[in-house]
Structure 1
Amino acid sequence: MATLTPLFLFLSLLPLFSSASASSKDISILHLHSNRSPFDTITAMAANDEARLSYLSSLAVIPVASGQQITQTANYVLRAKLGSPGQQLLLALDTSSDLSWVPCAGCAGCPAATPFTPSASSSFASADCTAIAAACAPINQTYGSASFLATISKDTLSLANDSIPGFTFACVNSVSGVNSAMPKQGLLGLGRGFNGLPAQTQAQYSGVFSYCLPSFKSYYFSGSLRLGKTGQPKSIRTTPLLKNPRRPSLYYVNLTGISVGKTAVKAAPEWLAFDPASGAGTIVDSGTVITRLVRPLYEAVRDEFRRQVGAVEWSTLGGYDTCFATPTEKESPTVVFHFEGMDLVLPAENTLIHSSATPIACLAMAASPDNVNSVLNVIANLQQQNVRVLIDTVANRVGFARELCN
């Protein structure tokens, strides 16, 4: 099977609304590989999910204030400007990270890209880091197989026509280890901690944002990020947003069950339970590629899926254990996630991925790893594509609505 370059989805800002209190804007997402099958690139991206889940587990033992909110997979980035005058950057979008970070000029070992130059910005300043780290010395961050030192800083962040003065972020000074998977120009944290974008822009956007990730089948492969109350779907169905003090940066929801076709999968309560003591439960995450379910729950879903597909020869491919020769997508059962107060129906494009080399389809889900994350269910970005995901950190709700993300 041919190896394709890793897949990156880029967001270019559309200045649809002017700066205002509780304003709204759409930030479009453009896919760079619209002429390629997603299987090889998704498989390569999903290989980083183990590291991603290891990062999520670190949130259980490292306080949010330490600034350890570093994503492990950069599947989507947004175009932003930092500084005065603004320096354009492509920042990875991550709903499970709080502290944003960018490589700064002079960074030793940073990936090859145009870094942010603090000396060229008239609004750049050191931030009060005492609330973030125990001391104002450079803080140590980890990213997959790499680690880096950064100083807490602040500057003006520009998104479309809006400006966010005094935005707190980490200025990366040096990187060690393997940096090939790092976002070249940094990360924008949309996590729910006090350093995340929602908290820092509470007065401007009221703690509300939504995003719609494009399908790999979309010709234009573009979607949008929307900030603020204005322009959000009015009829969207929602489920309560839960807060887990063990992992306070993450967006937890109450997953009550899963159906395959018309059959409700039998699930023990502990497979779905929200437990603040252990960090168990279900989260919505933009950085993980394929949905991970606690092992017994995944096996129950997988076995029911296989039963309904029928007597076919099952194979493994690229880490997926439920692959089969593609008859037609219509013959595959629909998977439904049942949340408290609403259901999310996954069509075939959110359930299966297809090989570019052979007519093979695979169930795009996997078991959670056998480590501290064995208790965590992750609703990942492949299952969120062509879905408007609304997060309201003030009203404590998460919404899902089908939408063509163009």
Structure 2
Amino acid sequence: MIKSCFNNILLSDQGHSLTVGIVQPRKLIVDTGSDLIWTQCKLSSSTAAAARHGSPPVYDPGESSTFAFLPCSDRLCQEGQFSFKNCTSKNRCVYEDVYGSAAAVGVLASETFTFGARRAVSLRLGFGCGALSAGSLIGATGILGLSPESLSLITQLKIQRFSYCLTPFADKKTSPLLFGAMADLSRHKTTRPIQTTAIVSNPVETVYYYVPLVGISLGHKRLAVPAASLAMRPDGGGGTIVDSGSTVAYLVEAAFEAVKEAVMDVVRLPVANRTVEDYELCFVLPRRTAAAAMEAVQVPPLVLHFDGGAAMVLPRDNYFQEPRAGLMCLAVGKTTDGSGVSIIGNVQQQNMHVLFDVQHHKFSFAPTQCDQI
């Protein structure tokens, strides 16, 4: 059993990181939407350049007596799914991996990692020793993949269940990440009942945790979102994933337009004539409430309905953000990459204790005051 706490930092906009000991403490983005564990390394001119441009201190394998390259015959190299993979003349497994807002190159290796907020546990893991080739990890040195795939922490350690509870970014408080028997929602106080739905298997894409989203409501009004638009297709396209590495939610066009129209009907504020980064719809907040402008705005909850009857009720702060002073923006975007995949991002998961029961293919959640765990 391992209990860790991770901190709120930025990944493009906003992400969560876990401090892990890799010779020295390093912050890794916690990401259920990818499998590779990796940190920036001093192995090439590209990593040295990254270090010179103000990134956090990078890991130097030369300082470690436990570092070792993985040969190309290693299971992690053979089974790892990368954008690009090759075996060098020195029998080293080099790769390139692409994320939603970044890309990284590196080489597979093994090292001893230290986890634990109260009781340190040291574990040997396969990981990527590399560098960013595009994008940025503001304040972090790498990514901790928690997906169901071969390279993730979950798969390497054969973890059967894990949970986390994300504190809001504005609170700047640590968030608990629990593994094994400690990942039990019933052991912790929740503010609403625990609900459960299935983790759905995808016949083609196995790197994500898919959940069966079947509908959306705003308040008590069920929106005109065709269930077929949210369903996983026989070819593995479509469906809905839970992704701690994505800041905002993304919905396929039919669902997004329905949410956008409903939100515009209930929010009695002028629509901003500009958008901000990932936010496609923003409203201008009244100036007279400057200090806590968004707190004065009342909106009904956004409700995500899952197959089997479970419903994730999202209060205002779980689907609106204030990325710029005076702007209240919908933290839901439109899927534009052609995949047809909808995403439940980390904003939607704030103050929501979520449990991934990998062994039994169940996803459970309950609203919770996360800083009280």
Q: Which residue of 2 aligns with 1:338?
A: 305
Q: Which residue of 1 aligns with 2:280?
A: 320
* Percentage of pairs with the same residue: 29
Output the CA distance in 1 between the equivalents of 2:107 and 2:92.
7
TM-superposition CA deviations, 1:274-301 (whole Å, max 9, x none): 2241421000001111111101111111
Output the CA distance in 2 between the equivalents of 1:137 and 1:328.
54
Q: Which residue of 1 aligns with 2:149?
A: 193
Q: Which residue of 2 aligns with 1:170?
A: 128
Is 1:306 equivalent to 2:243 in the alignment?
no
TM-superposition CA deviations, 1:173-218 (whole Å, max 9, x none): x654x4544775221111110211111111xxx4211111111343
Q: Which residue of 2 aligns with 1:385?
A: 350
Output the CA distance in 2 between the equivalents of 1:362 and 1:349.
10
Is 1:253 equivalent to 2:211 in the alignment?
yes
Given residue 316 of structure 2, which amino acid in structure 1 is its aligned partner? Answer: A
Q: Which residue of 2 aligns with 1:221?
A: 173
How far is 1:383 from its partner? 0.9
Q: Which residue of 1 aligns with 2:185?
A: 233
Equivalent runs, 1:108-147 vs 2, <5 Å: 108-110=45-47, 111-112=50-51, 113-127=56-70, 128=74, 129-132=77-80, 135=87, 136-143=91-98
The structure-2 alpha-carbon separation of the partners of 1:138 and 1:187, relative to structure 1 and needing over 3 Å to count, comes to same
How far is 1:268 from its partner? 1.3
The structure-2 alpha-carbon separation of the partners of 1:188 and 1:308, relative to structure 1 and needing over 3 Å to count, comes to same
How far is 1:324 from its partner? 4.3
Given residue 173 of structure 2, which amino acid in structure 1 is its aligned partner? Answer: F
Output the CA distance in 2 between the equivalents of 1:328 and 1:171.
44
Given residue 270 of structure 2, which amino acid in structure 1 is its aligned partner? Answer: E
How far is 1:333 from its partner? 1.7
Q: TM-score, normalised by structure 1?
A: 0.74
Q: Which residue of 2 aligns with 1:81?
A: 21
Output the CA distance in 1 between the equivalents of 2:252 and 2:206.
20
TM-superposition CA deviations, 1:327-383 (whole Å, max 9, x none): 86553121111112311111111122236532x4222212111x323x111001111
SS at 2:348 equivalent: helix
Given residue 195 of structure 2, which amino acid in structure 1 is its aligned partner? Answer: R
The structure-2 alpha-carbon separation of the partners of 1:98 and 1:330, relative to structure 1 and needing over 3 Å to count, comes to same
Output the CA distance in 1 between the equivalents of 2:284 and 2:304.
23
How far is 1:142 from its partner? 3.8
SS at 2:281 equivalent: strand
Output the CA distance in 2 between the equivalents of 1:149 and 1:216.
29
SS at 2:181 equivalent: coil
The structure-2 alpha-carbon separation of the partners of 1:158 and 1:302, relative to structure 1 and needing over 3 Å to count, comes to same
CA contact (8 A) 2:166 2:350 kept: yes
Given residue 258 of structure 2, which amino acid in structure 1 is its aligned partner? Answer: A
Is the deviation greater in 221-230 or in 128-137? 128-137
Output the CA distance in 1 between the equivalents of 2:318 and 2:5.
20
Count of paired positions: 333
CA contact (8 A) 1:91 1:183 kept: no
The structure-2 alpha-carbon separation of the partners of 1:297 and 1:146, relative to structure 1 and needing over 3 Å to count, comes to closer
The structure-2 alpha-carbon separation of the partners of 1:137 and 1:276, relative to structure 1 and needing over 3 Å to count, comes to farther
The structure-2 alpha-carbon separation of the partners of 1:175 and 1:209, relative to structure 1 and needing over 3 Å to count, comes to closer
Given residue 105 of structure 1, which amino acid in structure 2 is its aligned partner? Answer: K
Given residue 116 of structure 1, which amino acid in structure 2 is its aligned partner? Answer: Y
SS at 1:109 equivalent: helix
Q: Identify unmatched segments of 5+ residues in structure 1.
A: 1-22, 33-40, 46-73
CA contact (8 A) 2:86 2:95 kept: no
TM-superposition CA deviations, 1:239-291 (whole Å, max 9, x none): 10012132201010000111101100011122111224142100000111111
SS at 2:342 equivalent: strand
SS at 1:349 equivalent: helix
How far is 1:105 from its partner? 2.4
Given residue 223 of structure 1, which amino acid in structure 2 is its aligned partner? Answer: S
CA contact (8 A) 1:201 1:207 kept: no
Output the CA distance in 1 between the equivalents of 2:365 and 2:313.
10
Given residue 123 of structure 1, which amino acid in structure 2 is its aligned partner? Answer: T
Given residue 325 of structure 1, which amino acid in structure 2 is its aligned partner? Answer: L
SS at 2:264 equivalent: helix
Output the CA distance in 2 between the equivalents of 1:388 and 1:105.
37
CA contact (8 A) 1:29 1:214 kept: no
Output the CA distance in 2 between the equivalents of 1:255 and 1:368.
15
How far is 1:147 from its partner? 5.0
Output the CA distance in 2 between the equivalents of 1:225 and 1:242.
23
CA contact (8 A) 2:163 2:183 kept: no
Aligned match for 1:104, one of 21, 41, 59: 41
Given residue 115 of structure 1, which amino acid in structure 2 is its aligned partner? Answer: V
Q: Which residue of 1 aligns with 2:291?
A: none
SS at 1:221 equivalent: coil
